[in-house]
Amino acid sequence: TERQLYSLHQEQLHYEASMNLSSYTTGKEDGVKQGHKIGLIEGEARGEAKGREIGKTEGQAALLKRLLTKKFGPLSPASICKLDTANLEQLETWSEAILDCDSIEQLLR
C-alpha cells in the first residue's frame, strides 16, 4: 500500500542520513587526528630548532667569556650580563673583533 511505501521510503531516508552522519563523523575524527599529528611534528621541529639556536648562543657566549678572561682577566658583572643577554649575531661579531680590541669595554661598546 501507499502507507507501507511511504514508511519504507522514510526508513531508507533515515538510513542514508545516519550513514552520511557516520561517514562525516569518521572523516572529521580522522582529520582532527591527522591535524593533531602534523601539529605535533611541526611543534617538535620548531622546538628543536629553537633549542639548537639557544645552544649555539650559550656556547658562543661561554667561549667568548673564556677568551676575554684569558686576554683581559676576570670579567666584571656588567660585562658578563652583556654577554649573557646578547644574541648570536652580536656574539659572533664580538668574537671576530676580540683580536683587534685593547679592552673589554672597547669590544662591548
Query: Domain coordinates of the chain in residue numbers?
Result: 2-108
**pLDDT tens digits, one per residue of 26-51:** 777 777 778 877 888 888 888 888 88
**pLDDT tens digits, one per residue of 48-82:** 888 888 999 999 999 999 999 999 999 999 999 99
Distance CA 28, CA 20 (A): 12
Residue 86 has pLDDT above 90, yes or no: yes
Lowest pLDDT segment from 53-57, 84-88, 89-93: 53-57
**66 or 15: which leads in pLDDT:** 66
Distance CA 16, CA 49 (A): 49
What b-and-e string marks burial along 58-78, b requiring 16 or more CB atoms within 10 Å of the CB?
A: eebbeebeeebeeebeebeee
Residue 102 has pLDDT above 70, yes or no: yes
Residue 21 has pLDDT above 70, yes or no: no
Distance CA 56, CA 99 (A): 21
pTM score of the predicted model: 0.62
